[in-house]
Amino acid sequence: MNVMSTFQEEDYIKLLETLIKVVEANKGTALGDDNRFLDAEGLCKKFIGHAASALYLFGSTTLPSVKVTDRGISFFDPGSINVLGRAALESFLVFHYVFVEPRSDDEKDFRYYSWLRASYIDRQKFPPRSEEGKKQLTDEKKIIDALKEKINNNSIFQQLDKEKKKKLLEKGQWRLQSWTNIGLSAGLSEILAKHFYSFLCIYAHSGCQSAQQVGNAETAETQKDLCVATMKLIMIAVANMIKVYCQMFVKSKDVIQKDGDAKKLIDQWVHIGTFLQNEF
């Protein structure tokens, strides 16, 4: 059976429920010396939001208040599902790259501080509209400088060539790998990490192919066909997110150990994501 051409909603819901339980299991965990645990949790919650919203949209959308007809409008939205699929995948890949893949303490600090500093640099580009906003940017400039010092003193940073150092410090380019390479290192097959990800980028960037596909899909069945594979990809990402979250947070492992069915389902979708070749 082509695993990417069918969709089992019950399995999707089971995986999503398990991830939520895994995150909730860490309530009360000490934050440590910085906010990286809190940021990791926030990134995972962002991921959960994308996955939950995609499932909601997959059931179609009804807007009774939009009076195009007497009963409002009802439609299926494959474009938004595919955009959410890309956002969910990237959230998982960032989580893996920043919080899970690093092995040494220096590498963990380097990737986290680079990612964190980049977000402050991005915010400096937005012009403040109030005195409070100006003060916030001034305060955050001090944080940027403090993080720069930490990065400069990091052994991983010191091994980079001059050009990479410049891009990281001046432009905030925190990723040293492509999305494809991060996906491969996270255990995804090339068809997902490279080709399917590129396909979803077409939807996120409103490429002509996305407009043509949505425009030509006139029946509910053909509209759903445009994003069944994306729903499967999100299931793969959810299974992997559960796996890596349990690696980072010890309390989360108990949730999986107490639910044999969930563990079997997680292993199944992690395996599919690793060995999937042409079935999308």
Domain span at 151: 103-185
**pTM attached to this predicted model:** 0.93
Among 123, 158, 185, give the residue marking a domain's end.
185
Among 170, 185, 200, give the residue marking a domain's end.
185
Q: What are the pLDDT digits (tens) for 134-153?
A: 999 999 999 999 999 999 99
The CB density around residue 16, as the number of other CB atoms within 10 Å, is 19
User: Residue 128: what pLDDT?
Assistant: 87
d(CA 254, CA 209) in angstroms, rounded, equals: 45
> Is the pLDDT reported for residue 127 higher than 80?
yes
User: Residue 265: what pLDDT?
Assistant: 97
Asked if 203 and 180 sit in the same domain, the reply is no
Assign 151 to helix, strand or coil: helix
Asked if 166 and 200 sit in the same domain, the reply is no
User: Residue 69: what pLDDT?
Assistant: 67
Asked if 205 and 132 sit in the same domain, the reply is no
Asked if 127 and 40 sit in the same domain, the reply is no
Asked if 216 and 166 sit in the same domain, the reply is no
Whole-Å CA distances, 58 to 76, 81, 200: 7, 7, 16
Q: What are the pLDDT digits (tens) for 214-236?
A: 999 988 889 899 999 999 999 99
Asked whether 255 and 25 are in contact (CB, 8 A), the reply is yes
Domain tally, the chain: 2
Asked if 92 and 2 sit in the same domain, the reply is yes
Among 164, 185, 206, give the residue marking a domain's end.
185
Asked if 97 and 109 sit in the same domain, the reply is no
Asked if 262 and 220 sit in the same domain, the reply is yes
Q: What are the pLDDT digits (tens) for 68-99?
A: 767 778 889 999 999 999 999 999 999 999 99
**Where do the DSSP E strands lie in 52-125?**
61-63, 73-75
Sequence-distant (6+) residues with CB within 8 A of 91 are: 43, 44, 46, 47, 50
> Is the pLDDT reported for residue 1 higher than 70?
no
The CB density around residue 101, as the number of other CB atoms within 10 Å, is 17
Asked if 193 and 93 sit in the same domain, the reply is yes
Share of the chain above pLDDT 70, in %: 95
Q: What are the pLDDT digits (tens) for 14-29?
A: 999 999 999 999 887 7
Asked if 2 and 93 sit in the same domain, the reply is yes
Asked if 87 and 204 sit in the same domain, the reply is yes
Q: Which residue has the tokens 């010191």?
A: 158
Asked if 192 and 276 sit in the same domain, the reply is yes
Asked whether 183 and 93 are in contact (CB, 8 A), the reply is yes
Nearest to 95 by CA among 31, 162, 148, 48: 48
Q: Which residue has the tokens 């996270």?
A: 186
d(CA 10, CA 7) in angstroms, rounded, equals: 9
